[in-house]
Structure 1
Amino acid sequence: TEPFQNMGAQLLREAATKTNDNAGDGTTTAIVLAQSMIQKGFKFINSGAQSVLVKKGILKASQKVIEQILEKSKPISTQEEIANIATLSSGSKEIGEIIVSAINKVTKKGIISIGESKGLETELEVVEGMQYDKGYLSSIFVNKLTNMSVEFERTLILVTDHKINNINEINHLLEEVKAKSQPLLIIANSFDNDVINILALNKFHGILNIAATEAPGFGDNQKELLKDIAILTKANFISKDLDMQLQNIKIEDLGQFKKVII
């Protein structure tokens, strides 16, 4: 039964990951709902229901639930409304006020994340950064199970528009990174599946603290976004247009960033 148990665990993990990607919260709720739907689904199938019809029923019901939630939801806009919800959710007026201050500083388009303080005070810190809509390419890279995310500090970053077809293209670099004992994020145009599997195995066995994501955008837009990431992280952009080869990358070509969240 172990392969089937693993399949079920992967389904729940995928539900949590997608929820976190779309909403940034609610992973526990997603797992509870998914588990209930799976159990009830099997109950009906074992009673003679057709699996295709069960699936259609779940999708139809979920659409109805979404419509009801949207109908009953109330958009908020004023600082007072934001403060009330933040205070109620956190159970602290102080934290509620800090959240309002954070939203005012970074605007609604900014990213607000919560981290563990190294002191006794609750503080607000604003740092420059960027966000793009690409996630990790293997759930093995996850190191924060509470929200199914990858979080690195003092991260080395490889930025390239190459497709990484073979692990041998970057093996020499991985050895250098291993010696530095810092996490590595690889941002590339795309990856061969075997490359991702090998990187994931290295992470799983504790050989490398690593993650990989595909580059955002397409074509010329992708190149411009990668240039922006390279500038922000002080990396050398390993570009096909400049005939730069992956085999020739040195550790000095890598950028570095204070904190990375995927």
Structure 2
Amino acid sequence: MAEAVEVNRARLLEGLPHGFLGRRGGVSTGEVAGLNVGLGSGDEPAAVAENRCRAAAAVLPGAPLVSVYQVHSPDCVVLGADMWRDADRPHADALVTDRPGVLIGVVTADCAPVLLADREAGIVGAAHAGWKGAVGGVTDSTIAQMISLGAQRARIVAAVGPCIARHSYEVDEAFRDRFLAENGVNARFFVEGRERHWQFDLELYVAARLEAAGIAGVERLGLDTYSAPERFYSYRRATHRAEPAYGRQISLIAVG
């Protein structure tokens, strides 16, 4: 029997079509075995296409799936009529929409996926927050674009999905210094590790950025991509294992 697609859901987004997916339930093989949805992963295009269809069907059957061409930026776009084909994806790391019945999504492989919603306004967002995009303000840009469509900051809730956890994310002093230069209070997201190295809490940092934006609520799922190879893809794990390729998982949301 084929393995079912695993969908991790957030309490704050309950009732909305959404899900943080992993690698279970797909058709890809080899190093990227499972539900690899990365269009640029080097996987067989037919397998990626099938996996993306399975992912969408697990969250909102029959809905089209729209994503962006991610570049580790702070940029967010509003879903437009010219974005429906994969070849037309704009370069950005977040997107928002008020169109019912359309799944929007971001792919990750250690970076933090963030799903946001203002239920009352019928507006949702999805953001890819790697460390560059996170410190650059990708979540702030996503909230701003949602507000431009009619959302209200005090009604927006957000959930941070599977990403690399602090105990799995070693960084050097230069990395830490970038965050301290942005704001000295960022020291709280780092725990001292081996000599001249630190453990960075990406999930907590992203959640703190969301909370500082003044939205109604933030939820952290607490799922580590690095330490669960049977459930999630991880760029850092693949690098440490000298694997030739790595897959990407997807996080999806739609207006209810």
The bucket for the TM-score relative to the shorter chain is: under 0.3
TM-score (norm 1): 0.26
Point out the structure with the larger helix share.
Answer: 1
Point out the structure with the larger strand share.
Answer: 2
Give the structure, 1 or 2, with the largest relative contact order (CA under 8 Å, sep 6 or more).
2
TM-score (norm 2): 0.26
